[in-house]
Structure formats: C-alpha cells, structure tokens
Amino acid sequence: MKICSLLLATALLAAATAAASAASSDDELAAPVLRASVTVSGDVVRIGDVIDNAGTSAQIAIYRAPDLGTTGTLPTAQLLSVLRAHQVIGVDTRDLREISVTRLARTLDAKDIELHVARALEHRNGLGDAANLGLTFDRDLQDLRLEASNTGAMQPSSVRFDSRSGRFDVTFDIANDSVSAPTRLRFTGTAIETVEAAVLARNVERNELIKSSDVVVERRPKAEVGADAATRERAVGMQARRQLRAGQALKAADLAKPDLVQRDQTVTLIYEAAGLYLTVRGKALDGGTEGDVVSVLNLQSKRTVSGTVIGRGQVAVSVATPRPAATADASSSPQPDQTASTPSDQTTAPVALAAGTTSPVAPKAE
C-alpha cells in the first residue's frame, strides 16, 4: 500500500514539473508581434525596434533610420522578408500593410542660432547690444537637426571678431549624453551695428513739410546714418532743409522747424508796447520759423520793417517806448539832456487795428 502511494506522488510531481516546463517554454517561444509605429533615437533600425518578443535577435540592425526629425514607412511584406533572413519567423503582422518609423531629433531654429551668435558677439571689439547687430552668414542659415542625445545648451567656446572687416567666427559646444565629447557648431560671416532710422518713402522737396505717410522705420547701419539719426517722431511735422530722396535715412541736420511765415505771404504785423497794441497787414519779404527775424513790408506805410516770427502768419515788431519828460528839481537849474519829447510818429494811446482795416487815427509805424 505504501508503495502505491509513493508511486502516485511521484507521478503527480512529474506531471507538475512537466506543466511548469511547458509554460516556461511557451513564454520563451511567444510569437513575435509587429509594431504599427516605431521611434528610434539612433541612425539604425533594429529588429527589436519593429517587433515585440524579438528574443536574442533584438539587437540586429536591419535598416538605416530616416533622416533626423523625419518619419519613414516600411512595407510589411518587405520587412517580413528581411526578418526571415535573420531566422525570425512566425511574426504576427496584425494585418498591418506597413509600419512607420520616426527618428527623434533636437531642432535648433535658425532664429535661435542667430540670437546665440549675436549674444556671443555683443560688446566685442566695439560692437553694441545684441539686439542692434545685423548678421550675414557665409552660408544660408537654416534650422539644424541634431541627434536627440545632444541635450546641452549652446555654449560659445571660441569667439572672434575683426572690427575692421566686420568678420566673425563663432564656435559653440553642445553637451552629448551618449558620448563624452561635445557636438561642435561653427558659424562665420559678417556683423554690423544697426540703428532704427526714419526713412523717406518718397522724394521730398526743399522746405516741404514731412507727413506721417512719408516716413517708415527701418534698421540701417550705424556707420551709414551716423550719430544724429532722426526718429520718426522727430521727423514728422518738420520741414526739409534741402531736397531729399526716397529711401534716404533722415538725419537731424536734414530737418528744420516748419516755416510759420513764407516769402511773399500776407502776414499780420503786430506792434506792441506799453499802452500800445496795433495790428496791420504786411507782406513777408523772407520766410522764417518761430523766433526768426524777417523783413516785412508794411502795406499801410509802404515801409520795410524787421520783426520776429511769433506764430503762423504773425510777425511782432518792437516799438521804442518814449521816455517821460524829466521833472526839474526846484533847487537846481534844468539841464538840456534831462528832457525828452514824444516822437511825432508814435502815440501814447492804445490803438487796436484789425489787419486790413483803416482808421482815421493811426500811428505811423515802421
């Protein structure tokens, strides 16, 4: 009886061991399954990238990866043929006709590269702020794609600039997670300092007023414009001192305050003194802006007088104020030079005349 029990136990143990071995074998021999999409970070595609349960064949390279940052496709039929060549059979395709393969990359925008170069050159050998630097690269600057393992920041390792020729040569190092040596990027070209300038959109004649629509703002080389570049706000409403051409960057020396009085213009002559305010019509013989002294023909007296431009079409003429007669001291003899008389061509009574009108009583003004 004991012998039967022992035999039964032995049989049960053997059956359990066989079942466990079979399960383990099933796990090891699980069918490979095709993946619908694949992402790789290197320059090759391996068997383990395209199928699950690749086993010992997972590290075998079978295709060159797509270009950095791009996606390619692999037809399923072609892929199965390659897999069979490496003894990978029985692949579950899940009825996929093709799979997509994407290669990871780090993209450096062209604008970011230009900004890094400008910052590296900032204040070097007389250059100004990075924001004011105009860069021209020897090769057209485009977006750059690097291996995804290049995770470090762009660190300038070599910066050279020749102020005479404007040439620059800048090298950056980027730390790489995969290798100890950094990735190096080199850029060469020319750099100039620029300033914002008011630029004419059309030709402007001498003494012509500059309107808002006549001016656009552009960046121009500082050496071209000079230190007295005019801003848009300063240029609009000003008068051209000389003939200016379209596309010309305006300088402060090109502009003047607008003439408030034009030559041959009918103006108002204003005579003002203590107790006197008189306005008459006149004809400007000169043009001038505020504060300028111009000659004006008094249309009433037909005499030419000089006055100061004080407003649009207005010229102020100074009038000599008569001195009051001196009062003689009772204890002294009167002196000849201590008396003054009122000139015959002046009046001491306030008179106001609108330009272009006449009055029976008017002072003789010049």
Compute the distance between CA of residue 311 and CA of residue 270 in angstroms, rounded to an integer: 11
Identity at 136, one-letter amino acid code: T
**pLDDT(25) > 50:** no
CA distances from 283 to 295, 304, 327, 353 (A): 9, 9, 42, 17
pLDDT digits (tens, 9 = 90+) for 4-13: 454 444 444 4
**pLDDT(147) > 70:** yes
Compute the distance between CA of residue 49 and CA of residue 34 in angstroms, rounded to an integer: 9
pLDDT digits (tens, 9 = 90+) for 222-248: 888 887 888 898 899 898 989 999 999
Beta carbons of 353 and 362 less than 8 angstroms apart = yes
Confidence of residue 320 (pLDDT cuts 50, 70, 90): low
pLDDT digits (tens, 9 = 90+) for 151-202: 999 999 999 999 999 999 999 999 999 888 999 999 999 999 998 889 999 9
pLDDT number for residue 344: 39
Compute the distance between CA of residue 196 and CA of residue 52 in angstroms, rounded to an integer: 61
pLDDT number for residue 164: 92
Beta carbons of 189 and 213 less than 8 angstroms apart = no
More confident residue, 291 or 356: 291
- Calculate mean pLDDT across residues 9-35: 58
Burial letters 66-86, b for 16+ CB under 10 A, else e = bebeeebebebeebeeebeee
Within 10 A of 366 (CB to CB), how many other CB atoms are there?
14
Identity at 285, one-letter amino acid code: L
Q: How does DSSP classify residue 212?
A: G
- Calculate mean pLDDT across residues 143-147: 95
Note if the pTM is more than 0.75.
Answer: no
- Relative to beta strand 314-318, strand 266-273 is parallel
Q: How does DSSP classify residue 175?
A: -
pLDDT digits (tens, 9 = 90+) for 244-297: 999 999 998 899 888 888 888 999 999 988 878 889 999 999 888 888 899 999
Confidence of residue 319 (pLDDT cuts 50, 70, 90): confident
pLDDT number for residue 28: 54
Range from 116-120, 133-137, 353-357 carrying the lowest mean pLDDT: 353-357
pLDDT digits (tens, 9 = 90+) for 49-101: 999 999 999 999 999 999 999 999 999 999 999 999 999 999 999 999 999 99
Compute the distance between CA of residue 76 and CA of residue 33 in angstroms, rounded to an integer: 12
pLDDT number for residue 49: 96
Confidence of residue 325 (pLDDT cuts 50, 70, 90): low
